[in-house]
């Protein structure tokens, strides 16, 4: 896109945007040009009579860019605000919540307004997670449990139902892996992996479904 400007009896062209540039670069270039032409004043504070160039076409183009950027920013802000509490009044049960993906998931759901039931073996890590969730003013239930025991899966679901009133989302983030090869991996290590990675999610899904009238979203 080329915009012609007038100066000292000769026509010159100012290339605001090379064809291969992105829209963002275009906006940056246009914004820089506007600041230069208006002495640093915001475009919405500059009227045509005070504009320091005789080329009203350039002014009009930059005004349109400014208006569109403002509209886009406001629309994005509105969208972000609407998503902020998209899980308000939802109850999320998360296993493996004291580290990694489970912890990050708990924090994100809390920001979105959900009540969090966090399951983990590390009591200190659960306490630290609770402090961070409370920053988002979210409801939090810490459940210390070793899910390799089937009885503990009962505890996790029962406590969530008793204290929070239901389960809308179940996140199976707990995982276990043993390093080794097929030759040196023991049957006990293999069973431990299958228990946490397969059996526990199955048991939790089975136990959580009756506690929700609307069904459970499972991850």
**Are residue 101 and residue 203 in the same domain, yes or no?**
yes
For 148-184, what is each residue's pLDDT tens digit?
A: 999 999 999 999 999 999 999 999 999 998 888 889 9
**Are residue 149 and residue 209 in the same domain, yes or no?**
yes
**Are residue 57 and residue 108 in the same domain, yes or no?**
no
Which of 55, 84, 113 terminates a domain? The answer is: 84
For 88-141, what is each residue's pLDDT tens digit?
A: 889 999 999 999 999 999 999 999 999 999 999 999 999 999 999 988 778 999
Helix (H, G, I), strand (E, B) or coil at 3: strand
Which of 84, 99, 132 terminates a domain? The answer is: 84
Q: How far is CA 45 from CA 31, 58, 61, 90, 172, in A?
A: 14, 16, 16, 45, 54
Which CATH number covers residue 156? 3.40.50.720
For 55-72, what is each residue's pLDDT tens digit?
A: 556 556 666 666 666 656
- The tokens for 218 are 């499972």
Helix (H, G, I), strand (E, B) or coil at 216: coil
- The tokens for 129 are 């997670």
Residue 200 near residue 151, CB atoms below 8 Å? no
Domain range for 63: 2-84
Measured at the CA of 132, the angle between CA 127 and CA 133, to 5 degrees, comes to: 95
Name the one residue in this structure whose structure tokens are 């506690």.
Answer: 211
Domain count, the chain: 2
**Are residue 27 and residue 71 in the same domain, yes or no?**
yes
List all residues 6 or more positions away from 38 whose beta carbon is below 8 Å from its beta carbon. 46, 51, 52
Alpha-carbon gap, residue 203 to 32, rounded angstroms: 60
β-pair partners for 171: 94
Measured at the CA of 74, the angle between CA 58 and CA 132, to 5 degrees, comes to: 140
């Amino acid at each position: 896109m080329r915009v012609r400007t007038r100066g000292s009896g000769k026509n010159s062209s100012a290339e605001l945007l090379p064809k291969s540039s992105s829209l963002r670069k275009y906006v940056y270039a246009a914004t820089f040009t506007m600041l230069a032409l208006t002495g640093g004043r915001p475009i919405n504070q500059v009227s045509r009579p005070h504009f320091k160039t005789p080329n009203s076409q350039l002014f009009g183009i930059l005004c349109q860019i400014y208006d569109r950027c403002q509209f886009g920013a406001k629309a994005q802000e509105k969208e972000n605000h609407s998503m902020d509490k998209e899980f308000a009044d939802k109850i999320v049960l998360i296993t493996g919540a004291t580290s990694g993906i489970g912890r990050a998931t708990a924090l994100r759901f809390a920001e979105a307004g959900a009540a969090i039931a966090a399951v983990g073996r590390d009591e200190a890590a659960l306490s630290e997670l609770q402090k961070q969730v409370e920053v988002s003013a979210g409801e939090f239930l810490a459940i210390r449990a070793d899910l390799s025991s089937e009885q503990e899966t009962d505890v996790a679901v029962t406590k969530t139902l008793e204290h929070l009133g239901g389960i809308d989302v179940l996140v199976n983030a707990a995982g276990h892996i043993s390093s080794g090869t097929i030759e040196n991996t023991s049957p006990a290590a293999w069973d431990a992996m299958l228990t946490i990675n397969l059996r526990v999610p199955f048991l939790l899904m089975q136990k959580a479904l009756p506690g929700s009238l609307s069904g459970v979203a499972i991850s």
